[in-house]
Amino acid sequence: MQESGKRRGIVRLVAAVLGGALAAGIVVGVVARLLMRAILLAVDMPTSFTAGGTAGVLVAFAVLAVPAAATATARPAIRHAGRWVTAVVTGWGAARNGFADAKVLLLADESQMPLIALLTVAFAAAVVAHGRLAQYVTRYAAGQRATVN
């Protein structure tokens, strides 16, 4: 009987981790896609996004949320480390993609720069929120107090 309860607990935790990563990936992926579109609009570039490309962004953000989600129920030091791993890896990927279009940003009109800067800061905030959201949802789904320390 005790073995069965332990197995159910492990299954619930694994489901919570996958659900937390998926939820954070979808939410932050959609925000990132909207910010990408806004940046392209700000520099007067075409904004044709494909459904496949959007799905790829959502999957990438879900996968990148796994370290934070997997450490959501651990001790605080491990939980913070998981969040930092997610933030660093997500931030690195976002920066690499952003710098791929750096020429477009450098050639942007000076009047567009404040909006581009604001959108870049919003992207950074989304990167930081990514791991926090994954941990919050995972802890909630695992039946723990849903706070993020």
Q: What is the pLDDT of residues 48-88, one digit of tens each?
A: 888 999 999 999 999 999 999 999 999 999 999 999 999 99
Q: Which domain holds residue 47?
A: 2-141
Tell me how many domains the chain contains.
1
How many residues does this entry show for the chain? 149
| pTM for this predicted structure | 0.85
In a domain, 149, yes or no: no
Q: What is the block-wise mean pLDDT of the chain (149 residues), using blocks of 10 residues?
A: 78 94 96 89 82 93 96 93 94 77 73 87 92 95 73
Q: What is the CA radius of gyration of the chain?
A: 18
Residue 148 lies in a domain: no
**76 within some domain:** yes
